[in-house]
Structure 1
Amino acid sequence: MTCYDRRDLGLLLLRLGTGGVLAAHGAQKLFGWFGGGGIEGTGQFMDSIGYAPGKVSATAAGVAETGGGLLLALGLATPAAGAAAAGAMAGAAAVHAPNGFFNQEGGFEYAASLGLTAAGLAVTGPGRLSLDRVLGHSVDRNWMVPAAFAVTAAATALAVGARSRRLRKARDGQQGALFE
């Protein structure tokens, strides 16, 4: 009989809570569940905030949140799951950053908390109460942590950078129109 310690129980709770919240947010984007907009509505929103093309951005965010969240909750492919979820939350934080830190002011607090928790789980590992352990950590190797974060960081930097350029171009175009 295997004895689990407090660390394993704590990691299970963090994985279930964080993974469940992320998966629910992703399901809003992908399927319109829980009052979400689905791909159509979320795609229109993504376009409106500079993530274009909107449907592609909605799909990418939805898959990262739903897939990453479900995998985190299960403790499966934890480095990739945590990195993907953290990347999605970095993209969300970029949207909310102009509003400051606190969520009640529209700030990035919530996205940062979810992203940092997902990243922490990716680095720490899922604990013994996980599918990764059952499968002999075949998709949870030490080398996978930096690899997953490198791929996610590159993809996130490209997406957030492209959004920033679109917003800057739109802002500069509006300012130019004022002086014509």
Structure 2
Amino acid sequence: MKTKLFQTTSSWNNLVIRLLLAGVIFPHGAQKLFGWFGGYGFEGTMAYFTETVGLPWLLGFLVILLEALGSIVLLAGFATRILAAAYILLAIGIVTTSHLQYGFFMNWYGNQPGEGIEFFILWLGMSIALLLSGGGRYSADKYLSRVITEQAHSY
């Protein structure tokens, strides 16, 4: 089971997908956790999640950690499949609670009250690719898979 969880290919594609997904999710997490990039920081985000969206405190906290810290772990390629599964669930949750009612398109021209779902379709596609085939080249998962396989053969 451990071998399958960390198993991946030496694909450059997965490396690129992993780095780009981490790169687009991290700024959103940094907004929520640190208040960077015009975000509201931890307190403001938690107030929004619990009072406006209606999320339980623990779930809001996990969302912030998943976006801010999970993206850094994803960048390293550690537990890629687990993070990809979590990002799939997160994207579905974000779409259904906050974006579906605004249609497909992002709010490019500022003429709709919110953002559509097109960004999350890309997020989902990238997460599904990583869930199916792992972190790829230069990932911690690739190294761990090799170590686990070598240990299994040494017994």
**TM-score, structure 1 length as denominator?**
0.64
Give the structure, 1 or 2, with the largest relative contact order (CA under 8 Å, sep 6 or more). Answer: 2
How many residues in Structure 1 have an aligned counterpart in Structure 2?
Answer: 132
8 Å contact from structure 1 (residues 65, 84) kept in 2: no
**Distance in 1 separating the partners of 2:147 and 2:18:** 19
**Distance in 2 separating the partners of 1:65 and 1:78:** 14
Matched, 1:50 2:53: yes
Matched, 1:102 2:102: no
Residue type of the partner of 1:123? L
8 Å contact from structure 1 (residues 15, 121) kept in 2: yes
2:37 paired residue number: 34
8 Å contact from structure 2 (residues 25, 71) kept in 1: yes
Map 1:151-170 to 2 at 5 A: none
- Deviant stretches of 4+, over 4 Å: none
1:138 Cα deviation after fit: 7.1
1:133 paired residue number: 142
1:63 paired residue number: 65
8 Å contact from structure 2 (residues 88, 128) kept in 1: yes
Shift in CA distance, 115/138, structure 1 to aligned 2, threshold 3 Å: farther
The share of aligned pairs that are identical, in percent, is: 33
**Distance in 1 separating the partners of 2:83 and 2:127:** 8
1:93 Cα deviation after fit: 0.9
1:25 Cα deviation after fit: 1.0
**Distance in 2 separating the partners of 1:110 and 1:96:** 10
Greater Rg over alpha carbons, structure:
1
2:23 paired residue number: 20
Name the Cα RMSD after superposition: 2.2
Residue type of the partner of 1:28? Q
1:133 Cα deviation after fit: 1.0
1:120 paired residue number: 129
